Chain A
Amino acid sequence: MGNGIRERGWIPLLFLAPALIGLIVFRLAPIGIAIVGGFLQQTLRGETVFAGLANYLDLATDPVFWNSVRVTLLFNVLINPFQVVVALGLALLVFRPGPGVTFFRAAYFLPMCVSLAIVSVLWNILLDTQLGPVNGLLSALGLERQPFFRSESQALLTMIGIASWKGCGYWMMFLLAGLYAIPDDFHEAARIDGANAWQRFRYVTLPLMRRPILFVLIADTAINFLFFAPVYIITNGGPAGATDLLMFQAYQSAFAYLNHGRSLAISTILLVVIAIFAMVEFRLFRSPSDA
């Protein structure tokens, strides 16, 4: 019946075990396999051989890969700030109690409850150039039909649009929780000092929202770098590579071009890029008190 801390040391581990095992099996191990696999190649007969940097050197000379890098960076530079700003705007809109606020909160969150695959199929139909209702509406209003996913210049922006339609409500919930965590005293004090609404937002809300915003930005960045399903379902990376995100190239490499080493090399590069982006974002949004 010992109760020394040493004897009980295994009990917390026991409680942590289910989560830790899950983390190792579903997160850390695949990451490890991807990093190692990036240095391996499979022969036609399925034997695995060490390839050194061959997969990475092959990517370095591949114009399709570089186009994919460009598209992925462009996509993320646009979508992440956009989604955070929209999510913050939505959170501010539904923050104060008022008539119908619950309805709007639910409405903004609702797209999150639809699977991404179904979202893709739906928007693909809605935005179809000839048969889609959106173009039907445009044409009824006397406006020109838009190609959306079928146009090199519009496809990526349309992708950002549907990803944000689905994602912003979700991130809004985190920011809403952050807004509720700000004690009313701060706003009250600012009001007594004569601060107007903009000044209260700029000098009270925003600084105190740094951490929730940072969390949302980093989590959103990680998710958007791994954006895949709508590309697979709607555009297949086209037209002319306009939506050819790295995740789709990783998929194509493994399952269409039967090149697992390159697929894992792309995954590893993505991991590094996400880590770099997260670090930069962390530095930019770090509170002075965290320094």
Chain B
Amino acid sequence: MATRRALFSCTAGLALLASASAWAQDTPLNVLWMGWPEEQVEPLMDAFREAQPDITLNVERIPFAQIFQTIEVRLNARGGDPDIFIVDSPLTASYVARGYLLDLTPHLDASRFTKAALAAATVDDKIYSAPFGSSSALLFYNKTLLEEAGIEPPSTDPAERWTWAQLVEAAEKIAKPDQGIWGFVFEQAERPYQLLPLPMSLGAEMISPDGLTATGYVDSPKSVEAFQFYQDLYQTNQVSPPGVFDNNLTFELFGTGKVGFFVGNPYDLVNLPTKYPDLEWGLAPHPYFADGTPVTPTGAWHIGVNPNTDQMDAALTFIDFMMQDDTQRLWLKIRPYPPVLEAVWEAEADTTFADPGWAIVRHELTETARSRPATPGWREYEDIMRLAIRDIQTGADVQATLTAAAERTDRELAKYR
């Protein structure tokens, strides 16, 4: 692919003219990146281009729904393309098992990273993915809808966080399904990322300690109880819009004032005012089950180097640049994931993180954050659970669906045993 692309650019007459000066010094570096909006990607890449004019970055932005398949296809070709790719942190072990990731231990200073980020990047005591962002969850609410329904907004204090029962009670007062007004929606309504904290809040473990068995975990009584609650949101309480799975749609529903409560990510702190400046919204900590403990999701994007890259030096230069304090502060500005560098938390303590929303995030990251199940088969686990969650939402029997999903997962995990 790279050679064919190179061939095309060589034969194009214009390219000849343009590359006359760059010919001698040009090092192409192919980067497979998440499909975030251009303005949340290009400033970073431009900063790199400015710092390293000899390296020509080719950045491909792939939509979230296709990114994991694309990485699989491209890396499994076992060639040198892409040189760099974005890594969803729970997939690190999966990629290591497949030989997709270069060991970055000698190139990173482990002491700079937060503990959780480092743990997500480490397999067998080696760091395989460079931590680039963490994540958390916040309860956003629409002030106007709450006021209209006469609901006292939840407190920002994590000690007074709402239970799920409180949330459902409030959401029921807001929801008018026949008018397209809903009480509550998960931003990632089909993704285990945002939904596994439900069973985890009840104390369920969602995979065996060795990460290779799902039966007895995914379909445990506590897991069934949690996903029954999830189903009830759509079927019984009817506070959530069934069949809306796309992150962009759930975000739009909240942004356009059609949803009272919304479990979202810290990056929505920037996305909401940018896209929906007129929306009046507030923040509270993530809800929990009264007979359980608060649990929030975490983990996010890391950066990996293809061990087969032909541009090793340039690839490591890229990693080095992205791990710098200044780069990660810029990244925080354009798309605020909770930082993975202690230095960024400190540098922004009195500015960005003085915001009460970030105080909640900081609290969650240190007190309630739980990583997704550690398994080399996360790709398979995630997709099987995603389909099960869709079925559960549509009204399928929760126990039967989870048992079938667990059996399916065990079949797929067999290859890692």
Q: Residues of A with Cβ closer than 8 Å to B? A: 42, 44-46, 62-64, 128-131, 139, 147, 149-152, 236-240, 252, 255-259
Contact = CB atoms under 8 A, between A and B. Distances in A.
Interface string B381-417: 0011011001100111000010010001001100110
A92 B412 CA distance: 51
Interface stretch (B69-77, B151-159, B198-206, B263-271): B69-77
Contacts of B408: 64
23 contacts: A42-B76, A45-B98, A46-B99, A63-B404, A129-B243, A130-B177, A130-B180, A130-B242, A130-B243, A149-B243, A150-B394, A152-B394, A152-B396, A238-B387, A238-B391, A239-B390, A239-B396, A240-B401, A255-B68, A255-B73, A256-B380, A258-B379, A258-B380
Nearest to A61: B411
B111 to A, nearest CB: 32
A113 B412 CA distance: 39
Contact of A259 (B386, B415, B416): B415
B32 to A, nearest CB: 15
Contact of A240 (B180, B384, B391): B391
A239 B391 contact: yes
Contact of B379 (A62, A63, A131, A256): A256
B373 interface: no
B97 interface: yes
B390 A255 contact: no
A197 B153 CA distance: 74
Nearest to B190: A236
Given A64-B408, A130-B177, A238-B391, 17 more contacts: A44-B97, A44-B416, A45-B98, A46-B78, A46-B98, A128-B243, A129-B243, A130-B243, A147-B394, A150-B243, A238-B387, A238-B390, A240-B394, A255-B73, A257-B379, A257-B383, A257-B412
Contacts, number: 71
A128 B412 CA distance: 33
Contact of B241 (A44, A130, A238): A130
Main secondary structure of the interface of B (DSSP, over half): helix
B385 to A, nearest CB: 11
Contact of A252 (B99, B383, B390): B383
A130 to B, nearest CB: 6
Contacts of A258: 72, 98, 379-380
Contacts of B394: 147, 150-152, 238-240
Interface residues of B, number: 33
A129 B242 contact: yes
Contacts of B380: 256-258
A42 B76 CA distance: 10
A44 B180 contact: no
Most chain B C-beta atoms within 10 Å of own C-beta, residue among A62, A152, A238 = A238
B62 to A, nearest CB: 13
A118 to B, nearest CB: 16
B379 to A, nearest CB: 6
A255 B99 contact: no
B410 to A, nearest CB: 12
A131 to B, nearest CB: 6
Nearest to A256: B383
Nearest to A58: B411
A255 B72 contact: yes
B240 to A, nearest CB: 11
A128 B386 CA distance: 20
Nearest to A127: B243
A259 B241 CA distance: 34
User: Which 7 A-B pairs have CB atoms at the shortest separation, nearest pair first?
Assistant: A256-B383, A255-B69, A239-B394, A240-B396, A240-B391, A257-B412, A150-B243
Nearest to A239: B394
Contacts of A44: 97-99, 415-416
Given A44-B416, A130-B177, A130-B241, A237 B97 contact: no
Interface in B76-125: 76, 78, 97-99
A120 to B, nearest CB: 13
Contact of A237 (B76, B387, B412, B416): B387
Contacts of B412: 257, 259
A44 B404 CA distance: 25
Contacts of A63: 404
A149 B244 CA distance: 12
Nearest to B73: A255
B69 to A, nearest CB: 4
Contacts of B379: 256-258
Contacts of B99: 44-46
A7 B293 CA distance: 86
Contacts of A42: 76
A149 B243 CA distance: 9
A46 B98 CA distance: 7
Most chain A C-beta atoms within 10 Å of own C-beta, residue among B98, B243, B380, B415 = B243
Contacts of A236: 386-387, 390
Contacts of A256: 69, 379-380, 383-384
Contacts of A237: 387
Contacts of B386: 236
A183 to B, nearest CB: 53
A37 to B, nearest CB: 13
A257 B69 CA distance: 10
Contacts of A240: 391, 394, 396, 401
A38 B396 CA distance: 33
Nearest to B397: A240
A150 to B, nearest CB: 5
Most chain B C-beta atoms within 10 Å of own C-beta, residue among A62, A131, A257 = A257
A150 B415 contact: no
B345 to A, nearest CB: 36
Interface string B209-231: 00000000000000000000000
